[in-house]
A and B are shown apart, each in its own frame.
Chain A
Amino acid sequence: MSQGKESFAERFLRVVKTIGAKIKSGVLFVIGKIKGLFKRKKKEEPTVIVDPATGKARPIAREMTRRQYIWKEMKKNRVAYLMVGPFLLLFFFFTVLPVFLSMILSLTDFNMLQMPHFKGLSNFQRLILDDEIFLLACKNTLIFASITGPVSYLMSLLIAWFINELPPKIRAAVTLIFYAPSISGALYTVWAALFSSDSYGWANAMALKLGFITKPILFFENEKWVMPICIVVALWTSLGTAFLSFIAGLQTIDRSLFEAAAVDGIKNRWQELWFITLPSMRPQLMFGAVLSITQSFGFGSIVTTLCGFPSVNYAAHTIMHHLDDYGGQRYEVGYASAIAVILFVIMITSNMVIKKALSKVGQ
Chain B
Amino acid sequence: MSRKLRTRSHRVVLNRSAGGDAGIIIFLLILGAFMFLPMLYAIMQSLKPLDELFMFPPRFYVRNPTLENYSDLFSLLNDAWVPFSRYIFNTVFITACGTLGNLLLGSMAAYALAKLKFPGREFFFKVIVMSLMFNSTVNQVTHFILLSSVRWIDTYLAIIVPAMATTLGLYLMKQFMESSVPDTVLESARLDGASEFRTFWVIAMPMVKPAWLTLIIESFRTLWNSGASIYIHSEQLKTFNYAITQIISGGVARSGAGAAAAMVTALVPIIVFVINQSKIIETMGSSGMKD
**A interface residues with partner B (beta carbon < 8 Å):** 70, 73-74, 77, 79-81, 83-84, 86-88, 90-91, 93-99, 101-102, 105, 112, 155, 158-159, 162-163, 165, 167, 172, 174-181, 183-191, 193-194, 199-202, 205, 208-209, 236, 239, 241, 244-245, 247-249, 251-252, 255, 258-259, 261-263, 266-269, 271-272, 281-284, 286-287, 290-291, 293-295, 297-298, 300, 305, 320, 323-324, 327-328, 333, 336-337, 340, 343-344, 347-348, 351, 359
**A91-B131 Cα distance, complex, nearest whole Å:** 10
A291 to B36, CA, bound (A): 23
Q: Mark B139-183, 1 if CB is under 8 A from A, else 0.
A: 111111110000000000000011011011010000000000000
- 0/1 string, B270-291, CB within 8 A of A gives 1: 1001100110111111011111
Chain B binding surface SS class: helix
Q: Is there contact, CB below 8 Å, between B127 and A194? A: no
Contacts of B289 in A (CB 8 A): 283-284, 286-287, 290
B57 CB–A CB distance under 8 Å? yes
With a CB–CB cut-off of 8 A, which chain B residues contact A194?
38, 41
Q: Which residues of A contact B193 (CB under 8 A)?
A: none
Q: Is B113's CB within 8 Å of the partner chain A?
A: yes
- Cα A268 to Cα B16 in complex, Å, equals 7
Binds A, one of B71-79, B86-94, B257-265: B257-265
**Nearest chain A CB to B288 CB, angstrom units:** 2
A-B contact count (CB 8 A): 311
B138 touches A340 (CB 8 A): yes
Residue contact A333 to B287, C-beta cutoff 8 Å: no
CA A77 to CA B117, docked complex, whole Å:
8
Contacting residues, chain B, for A244 (C-beta < 8 A): 280-281, 284
CB distance A249 to B284 under 8 Å?
A: yes
User: Which residue of A80, A174, A300, A347 has the most chain B CB atoms within 10 A of its CB atom?
Assistant: A80
> Is residue B126 contacting chain A, with contact meaning CB distance below 8 A?
no
Cβ-closest 7 pairs across A and B: A283-B288, A185-B265, A77-B118, A248-B284, A184-B266, A327-B141, A90-B165
Among A165, A186, A200, A324, the residue within 8 A (CB) of B248 is A186
Question: Which of A90, A95, A263, A266 is in CB contact (< 8 Å) with B105?
Answer: A90
Q: How far is the CB of B125 from chain A (nearest CB, A)?
A: 10
Of the candidates B27, B112, B283, the one having the most CB atoms from chain A within 10 angstroms of its own CB is: B112
A contact residues around B144 at 8 Å (CB): 327
Chain B residues in 8 Å Cβ range of A272 = 14-15
Question: What are the residues of chain B within 8 A of A91 when measuring CB–CB?
Answer: 128, 131, 165, 167
Which residues of chain A have C-beta atoms less than 8 A from B265's C-beta? 184-187
CB distance B133 to A80 under 8 Å? no
Asked, given contacts A186-B262, A187-B262, whether A347 binds B133 with beta carbons under 8 Å apart, the answer is yes
Q: A262: shortest Cβ distance to chain B, in Å?
A: 4
**Contact call A294/B132, Cβ cutoff below 8 A:** yes
Given contacts A73-B118, A101-B142, contact A205 B132 (CB under 8 A): no
